[in-house]
Structure 1
Amino acid sequence: MATITEAAGTALVGAMATDMWRKAVDGVTALWRRAYPDRAETVAAELEQTRRQVLAARQSNDERALQDLRIGWQLRLAQFLDLEDHQLAEELAAQLHRLVEEELRYAAAPSERNYTNKVEMKAVAFGRSQVNQVAGNQYNYGD
């Protein structure tokens, strides 16, 4: 779940300076409401505060403050998903993933998108054909 919380924290902070900020706040608050209904409004207020901090950091070109906000929400989301009810944790992680992929993914600037894209590869070989597929470096050291 570390990958999704890293991606979500980054996308969340990135969205705060865009027109997507309201969807980000509503989406994360809805997740919180499922696991911790009594804390959802507090989280919504903290997200509103994060938005003000993001806007101020961007205005002053304070990359360090933006990075601190990203890391803070990454940790917060990781703690949020660390539930005793593992089934609920998996459901919430899937919903968080959908929120990032379907709503917030492109809200952040390309330089702030530090999560990996999905790679899907398919190959078909007939007869005595050979297929090599690689999503990285491939080295052939001979037969």
Structure 2
Amino acid sequence: MSSHLFCEGENTMDPIVVAAGSALVAAMATDAWQQAQAGLVRLWQRVHPAQTDAVEEELAEVRTQVLSARDAGDAETERALTGSWQWRLQLLLRDDPALAEELRRLLDDTLAPAVRAHTQTDKPSTVINGTARDSSRLYIAGVNQYFR
């Protein structure tokens, strides 16, 4: 990974920062929140140990805001919080670019699985198998099917 956080010639954030910031805020509304928080605080502690307690408290406050925004259907607040944490992660990696790989591990091992588990539905899936033989026809539909 390069040591810069903006792509050369562009004004875009590093993809790992965008993904991690988005997943962090989304994970705030999941059961894996404490793991996500602990992982992010460990990253912060390596670069800015004096800020660790303040970051931990701020993460707890932001989690409350995310939960309230979700309850109210306020997607705009959640987007703003996501942008704020993307920016903060960008600044953290600017101060220590070597943390990029650790941030990617946090994303892959904790944040992304928490978000995926939370967004999966509890609806059972249906599997339909069929075989057509000897010039027969097979019609399979997941909804109503009409013939004329």
TM-score of the superposed pair, with normalisation by structure 1: 0.70
Structure 2 partner of 1:10: 22
Aligned residue identity for 2:97 = A
Structure 2 partner of 1:100: 107
Q: Secondary structure of the residue that 1:100 maps to in structure 2?
A: helix
Structure whose CA Rg is larger? 2
Is structure 2 residue 40 aligned with structure 1 residue 28?
Answer: yes
Q: 1:7 to 1:23 in 2, by over 3 A?
A: same
CA distance in structure 1 between the partners assigned to 2:46 and 2:116 by the alignment? 30
- In percent, how many aligned pairs have the same letter? 40
Q: Structure 1 stretches of 5 or more lacking a match?
A: 113-143
Structure 2 partner of 1:120: none
Cα deviation, 1:50-79, whole Å, max 9, x if unaligned, reads 100000000000000010011000001001
Q: Which consecutive aligned stretches of 4+ in structure 1 deviate over 2 angstroms post-superposition?
A: 106-110
CA distance in structure 2 between the partners assigned to 1:93 and 1:44 by the alignment? 20
Aligned residue identity for 1:39 = Q
Root-mean-square deviation over aligned CA pairs: 1.6
Aligned residue identity for 1:19 = D
Aligned residue identity for 1:4 = I
Structure 2 partner of 1:56: 68
Structure 2 partner of 1:136: none
Question: Contact 1:14–1:109 at 8 Å: present in 2 too?
Answer: no
TM-superposed CA distance for 1:24, in Å, is 1.1
Q: Structure 2 stretches of 5 or more lacking a match?
A: 6-13, 120-148
Q: Of 74, 88, 92, which aligns to 1:80?
A: 92
TM-superposed CA distance for 1:109, in Å, is 5.7
Give the number of equivalent residue pairs. Answer: 106
CA distance in structure 1 between the partners assigned to 2:49 and 2:63 by the alignment? 22
